[in-house]
Amino acid sequence: MTSISGYSPFLSIKTTNGSWELGAQNATGNENKLFFTYVLDSKYNAGTNEMAAQATLYPDGAWSQAKAIRDAGDNRVLTFNYSASALGYNDFTWLAAWNGNE
């Protein structure tokens, strides 16, 4: 076999409520991408295999599909959406800034 066909996990680690998997996919639209996923047992047992979380690594080193990040200070979940059209002046409570040194 010269390459995989479809999704091929090569590492799976069982947790209490699901499993983490690391695998590659070589299907139309997903060629040469690496996927890091978490599937809940309830979704697997229902036959849906719907992922609770997924991050994708592209061949050029770019990551995608993150829905949120955890604050290093207080562990809050912070969400972001770069494709949102615009925020009004009263639509946010704080604005993050980065000085390039953190």
**Spans of all domains in the chain:** 6-79
pLDDT in tens, 28-79: 777 788 888 888 999 989 988 787 888 888 888 887 766 677 777 888 887 7
Beta bridge partners of 13: 20
Contact 12, 19 (CB under 8 A): yes
Does this model's pTM top 0.85? My answer is no
Rounded Cα gap, residues 20 and 24, in angstroms:
14
Phi, psi at 5, each rounded to 5°: -130, 120
CA angle (102 as vertex; 81, 62 as ends), nearest 5: 50
